[in-house]
Structure 1
Amino acid sequence: MIEVAAAIIYNHEGRILIARRRQGKSQAGLWEFPGGKLEDGEDAPACLRRELMEEMGIAILPYAAFGVNEHNYDGFTIRLIAWEAEYLEGRITLSDHDAFRWVTAEELDGFAFAPADIPFVNRLLEPLR
Protein backbone atom coordinates (compact mmCIF):
# COMPACT_ATOMS: atom_id res chain seq x y z
CA MET A 1 0.00 0.00 0.00
CA ILE A 2 1.24 3.47 -0.91
CA GLU A 3 0.69 6.22 1.64
CA VAL A 4 -0.13 9.60 0.13
CA ALA A 5 -0.99 12.89 1.81
CA ALA A 6 -3.42 15.44 0.36
CA ALA A 7 -3.88 19.03 1.48
CA ILE A 8 -7.20 20.83 1.58
CA ILE A 9 -5.64 24.29 1.48
CA TYR A 10 -7.65 27.39 2.33
CA ASN A 11 -6.57 30.89 1.31
CA HIS A 12 -7.42 34.08 3.23
CA GLU A 13 -10.75 34.26 1.34
CA GLY A 14 -11.76 30.75 2.42
CA ARG A 15 -11.30 29.29 -1.07
CA ILE A 16 -9.84 25.81 -1.55
CA LEU A 17 -6.88 24.99 -3.82
CA ILE A 18 -7.42 22.20 -6.35
CA ALA A 19 -5.07 21.10 -9.12
CA ARG A 20 -5.46 19.09 -12.35
CA ARG A 21 -3.02 16.25 -13.01
CA ARG A 22 -1.08 16.85 -16.21
CA GLN A 23 -0.91 14.54 -19.22
CA GLY A 24 1.55 11.69 -18.80
CA LYS A 25 0.74 11.24 -15.09
CA SER A 26 -1.63 8.64 -13.69
CA GLN A 27 -5.15 10.06 -13.39
CA ALA A 28 -4.25 12.70 -16.02
CA GLY A 29 -6.93 15.33 -16.52
CA LEU A 30 -8.57 14.71 -13.15
CA TRP A 31 -8.60 17.22 -10.33
CA GLU A 32 -7.21 16.57 -6.85
CA PHE A 33 -6.24 18.12 -3.59
CA PRO A 34 -2.46 18.54 -4.01
CA GLY A 35 0.04 16.52 -2.03
CA GLY A 36 2.30 13.53 -2.53
CA LYS A 37 3.83 10.32 -1.27
CA LEU A 38 5.07 10.06 2.29
CA GLU A 39 8.76 9.31 2.63
CA ASP A 40 10.12 6.88 5.25
CA GLY A 41 9.66 8.26 8.74
CA GLU A 42 7.65 11.25 7.52
CA ASP A 43 4.22 12.16 8.87
CA ALA A 44 1.47 13.67 6.72
CA PRO A 45 1.94 17.32 7.79
CA ALA A 46 5.70 17.20 7.10
CA CYS A 47 5.04 15.50 3.75
CA LEU A 48 2.54 18.17 2.76
CA ARG A 49 4.85 21.05 3.68
CA ARG A 50 7.66 19.43 1.64
CA GLU A 51 5.55 18.40 -1.37
CA LEU A 52 3.73 21.72 -1.75
CA MET A 53 7.03 23.60 -1.64
CA GLU A 54 8.66 21.19 -4.16
CA GLU A 55 5.75 20.84 -6.59
CA MET A 56 4.02 24.21 -6.34
CA GLY A 57 6.47 26.57 -4.67
CA ILE A 58 4.11 27.48 -1.83
CA ALA A 59 4.34 27.35 1.94
CA ILE A 60 1.39 25.90 3.85
CA LEU A 61 0.52 25.19 7.46
CA PRO A 62 -1.32 21.87 7.95
CA TYR A 63 -3.49 22.31 11.05
CA ALA A 64 -6.11 19.54 11.27
CA ALA A 65 -6.50 15.94 10.15
CA PHE A 66 -9.47 15.71 7.78
CA GLY A 67 -9.78 12.01 6.97
CA VAL A 68 -8.32 8.87 5.44
CA ASN A 69 -9.49 7.00 2.36
CA GLU A 70 -8.12 3.77 0.88
CA HIS A 71 -8.63 3.32 -2.85
CA ASN A 72 -7.57 0.55 -5.24
CA TYR A 73 -6.23 1.76 -8.59
CA ASP A 74 -5.78 -1.13 -11.05
CA GLY A 75 -3.70 -3.41 -8.90
CA PHE A 76 -2.27 -1.04 -6.29
CA THR A 77 -3.86 0.57 -3.28
CA ILE A 78 -3.25 4.02 -1.93
CA ARG A 79 -4.04 5.25 1.54
CA LEU A 80 -4.88 8.92 1.08
CA ILE A 81 -4.49 10.98 4.25
CA ALA A 82 -6.12 14.41 4.01
CA TRP A 83 -5.25 17.40 6.17
CA GLU A 84 -6.73 20.86 6.21
CA ALA A 85 -4.09 23.53 5.75
CA GLU A 86 -3.65 27.28 5.55
CA TYR A 87 -1.94 28.89 2.56
CA LEU A 88 0.92 31.01 3.91
CA GLU A 89 2.91 32.36 0.97
CA GLY A 90 4.45 31.78 -2.42
CA ARG A 91 3.45 32.10 -6.05
CA ILE A 92 2.06 28.85 -7.46
CA THR A 93 4.23 27.17 -10.09
CA LEU A 94 3.15 23.83 -11.56
CA SER A 95 5.23 20.68 -12.20
CA ASP A 96 2.92 17.66 -11.71
CA HIS A 97 -0.20 19.62 -12.67
CA ASP A 98 -1.28 21.63 -15.71
CA ALA A 99 -3.88 23.84 -14.02
CA PHE A 100 -5.01 25.02 -10.60
CA ARG A 101 -8.02 26.86 -9.24
CA TRP A 102 -9.04 28.48 -5.98
CA VAL A 103 -12.68 27.45 -5.57
CA THR A 104 -15.46 27.65 -3.03
CA ALA A 105 -16.76 24.40 -1.56
CA GLU A 106 -19.93 24.90 -3.60
CA GLU A 107 -17.90 24.86 -6.83
CA LEU A 108 -16.25 21.47 -6.16
CA ASP A 109 -19.19 19.68 -7.81
CA GLY A 110 -18.19 21.20 -11.16
CA PHE A 111 -14.85 19.34 -11.40
CA ALA A 112 -14.02 15.69 -12.19
CA PHE A 113 -11.92 14.49 -9.25
CA ALA A 114 -9.58 11.51 -8.97
CA PRO A 115 -11.53 8.65 -7.33
CA ALA A 116 -9.47 8.65 -4.11
CA ASP A 117 -10.30 12.34 -3.53
CA ILE A 118 -14.07 12.01 -4.05
CA PRO A 119 -14.92 11.05 -0.44
CA PHE A 120 -13.21 14.26 0.72
CA VAL A 121 -15.11 16.32 -1.88
CA ASN A 122 -18.36 14.77 -0.64
CA ARG A 123 -17.49 15.54 2.97
CA LEU A 124 -16.82 19.19 2.08
CA LEU A 125 -20.15 19.35 0.24
CA GLU A 126 -22.23 17.69 3.03
CA PRO A 127 -22.99 20.89 4.97
CA LEU A 128 -24.18 22.54 1.74
CA ARG A 129 -26.73 19.87 0.84
Structure 2
Amino acid sequence: MKRMIEVAAAIIENEQGQILIARRRNGKSQAGMWEFPGGKIETDETPEACLIRELREEMGIKIEPYAWFGDNEHDYGTVRIKLIAYLAKYSHGEIRLVDHDEYRWTNREELGEYEWAPADVPFVVQLSEKS
Protein backbone atom coordinates (compact mmCIF):
# COMPACT_ATOMS: atom_id res chain seq x y z
CA MET A 1 0.00 0.00 0.00
CA LYS A 2 1.25 3.47 -0.94
CA ARG A 3 1.97 5.82 1.87
CA MET A 4 -0.29 8.81 2.27
CA ILE A 5 1.30 12.23 2.63
CA GLU A 6 -0.75 14.96 4.26
CA VAL A 7 -0.29 18.35 2.67
CA ALA A 8 -1.89 21.66 3.62
CA ALA A 9 -2.90 24.29 1.06
CA ALA A 10 -3.81 27.90 1.78
CA ILE A 11 -6.51 29.70 -0.16
CA ILE A 12 -5.26 33.18 0.70
CA GLU A 13 -7.40 36.23 0.05
CA ASN A 14 -6.24 39.83 -0.02
CA GLU A 15 -8.36 42.87 0.85
CA GLN A 16 -9.68 43.01 -2.73
CA GLY A 17 -10.98 39.42 -2.47
CA GLN A 18 -8.35 38.09 -4.89
CA ILE A 19 -6.72 34.71 -4.29
CA LEU A 20 -2.97 34.03 -4.22
CA ILE A 21 -1.82 31.29 -6.60
CA ALA A 22 1.72 30.14 -7.37
CA ARG A 23 3.40 28.22 -10.20
CA ARG A 24 5.74 25.34 -9.37
CA ARG A 25 9.24 25.99 -10.69
CA ASN A 26 11.28 23.65 -12.91
CA GLY A 27 12.83 20.75 -11.04
CA LYS A 28 9.79 20.32 -8.76
CA SER A 29 7.11 17.68 -9.31
CA GLN A 30 4.23 19.18 -11.36
CA ALA A 31 6.62 21.89 -12.62
CA GLY A 32 4.81 24.66 -14.49
CA MET A 33 1.47 23.90 -12.86
CA TRP A 34 -0.34 26.30 -10.57
CA GLU A 35 -1.31 25.53 -6.99
CA PHE A 36 -2.52 27.04 -3.78
CA PRO A 37 0.65 27.50 -1.72
CA GLY A 38 1.35 25.28 1.26
CA GLY A 39 3.34 22.18 2.05
CA LYS A 40 3.83 18.91 3.86
CA ILE A 41 2.38 18.69 7.35
CA GLU A 42 5.07 17.63 9.82
CA THR A 43 4.55 15.18 12.69
CA ASP A 44 2.47 16.72 15.51
CA GLU A 45 1.75 19.82 13.41
CA THR A 46 -1.75 21.12 12.72
CA PRO A 47 -2.64 22.11 9.13
CA GLU A 48 -2.97 25.74 10.27
CA ALA A 49 0.50 25.74 11.90
CA CYS A 50 1.92 24.08 8.77
CA LEU A 51 0.50 26.82 6.55
CA ILE A 52 1.82 29.62 8.73
CA ARG A 53 5.30 27.99 8.70
CA GLU A 54 5.31 27.09 4.98
CA LEU A 55 4.16 30.52 3.79
CA ARG A 56 6.81 32.17 5.97
CA GLU A 57 9.50 29.80 4.58
CA GLU A 58 8.39 29.63 0.94
CA MET A 59 7.11 33.16 0.35
CA GLY A 60 8.20 35.28 3.29
CA ILE A 61 4.65 36.31 4.16
CA LYS A 62 2.43 36.07 7.22
CA ILE A 63 -1.03 34.61 6.82
CA GLU A 64 -3.92 33.89 9.17
CA PRO A 65 -5.74 30.62 8.40
CA TYR A 66 -9.33 30.98 9.66
CA ALA A 67 -11.54 28.21 8.25
CA TRP A 68 -11.26 24.68 6.90
CA PHE A 69 -12.23 24.63 3.21
CA GLY A 70 -12.02 20.98 2.20
CA ASP A 71 -9.98 17.79 1.83
CA ASN A 72 -9.05 16.01 -1.36
CA GLU A 73 -7.10 12.79 -1.88
CA HIS A 74 -5.13 12.34 -5.07
CA ASP A 75 -3.01 9.45 -6.33
CA TYR A 76 0.06 10.70 -8.19
CA GLY A 77 1.21 7.16 -9.03
CA THR A 78 4.28 7.05 -6.81
CA VAL A 79 2.53 8.68 -3.87
CA ARG A 80 -0.94 9.47 -2.56
CA ILE A 81 -1.57 12.83 -1.02
CA LYS A 82 -4.34 14.14 1.15
CA LEU A 83 -4.61 17.85 0.45
CA ILE A 84 -6.24 19.81 3.27
CA ALA A 85 -7.26 23.32 2.27
CA TYR A 86 -7.87 26.26 4.58
CA LEU A 87 -9.13 29.72 3.84
CA ALA A 88 -6.63 32.32 5.04
CA LYS A 89 -6.21 36.06 5.13
CA TYR A 90 -3.02 37.70 3.87
CA SER A 91 -1.57 39.58 6.82
CA HIS A 92 1.72 41.17 5.68
CA GLY A 93 5.10 40.65 4.11
CA GLU A 94 6.73 41.07 0.72
CA ILE A 95 6.34 37.92 -1.40
CA ARG A 96 9.67 36.32 -2.39
CA LEU A 97 9.56 32.97 -4.15
CA VAL A 98 11.53 29.86 -3.14
CA ASP A 99 9.65 26.82 -4.54
CA HIS A 100 7.75 28.74 -7.23
CA ASP A 101 8.78 30.78 -10.26
CA GLU A 102 5.71 32.98 -10.46
CA TYR A 103 2.73 34.08 -8.39
CA ARG A 104 -0.46 36.00 -9.08
CA TRP A 105 -3.35 37.53 -7.21
CA THR A 106 -6.35 36.44 -9.26
CA ASN A 107 -10.12 36.77 -9.16
CA ARG A 108 -12.19 33.63 -8.48
CA GLU A 109 -13.75 33.72 -11.95
CA GLU A 110 -10.26 33.63 -13.54
CA LEU A 111 -9.04 30.53 -11.64
CA GLY A 112 -10.16 28.16 -14.41
CA GLU A 113 -7.80 29.83 -16.90
CA TYR A 114 -4.70 28.27 -15.28
CA GLU A 115 -3.24 24.77 -15.56
CA TRP A 116 -3.57 23.36 -12.03
CA ALA A 117 -1.80 20.57 -10.17
CA PRO A 118 -4.39 17.73 -10.14
CA ALA A 119 -4.89 17.66 -6.36
CA ASP A 120 -5.86 21.37 -6.38
CA VAL A 121 -8.49 21.06 -9.15
CA PRO A 122 -11.49 20.18 -6.90
CA PHE A 123 -10.81 23.33 -4.84
CA VAL A 124 -10.60 25.45 -8.01
CA VAL A 125 -14.01 24.08 -9.06
CA GLN A 126 -15.53 24.84 -5.64
CA LEU A 127 -14.13 28.37 -5.60
CA SER A 128 -15.22 29.06 -9.19
CA GLU A 129 -18.80 27.97 -8.38
CA LYS A 130 -18.89 30.46 -5.51
CA SER A 131 -17.84 33.44 -7.61
Shorter-normalised TM range: over 0.9
Q: TM-score, normalised by structure 2?
A: 0.96
Q: Deviations over 1:69-117 (max 9, x none)?
A: 0000022100000000000000000010000000000010110000000
Whether 1:48 aligns to 2:51 is yes
Unaligned segments of structure 2, at least 5 residues:
none
| 1:31 paired residue among 20, 26, 34 | 34
RMSD: 0.6
Q: Who is 1:73 aligned against?
A: 76
| 1:115 paired residue among 97, 106, 118 | 118
Q: Deviations over 1:48-88 (max 9, x none)?
A: 00000000000000000000000000221000000000000
Q: Deviations over 1:3-60 (max 9, x none)?
A: 0000000001110000000000000000000000001000100000000000000000
Q: Distance in 2 between matches of 1:43 and 1:37?
A: 11
By how many angstroms is 1:127 displaced? 2.8
Q: Distance in 2 between matches of 1:32 and 1:59?
A: 18
Q: Who is 1:94 aligned against?
A: 97
Q: Distance in 1 between matches of 2:130 and 2:7?
A: 26
Identity %: 62
Unaligned segments of structure 1, at least 5 residues:
none
Q: TM-score, normalised by structure 1?
A: 0.98
Q: Distance in 2 between matches of 1:15 and 1:76?
A: 31
| Runs (4+) off by over 6 Å | none
What are the equivalent positions in structure 2 for 1:51-62 lying under 5 Å apart? 51-62=54-65
Q: Who is 1:85 aligned against?
A: 88
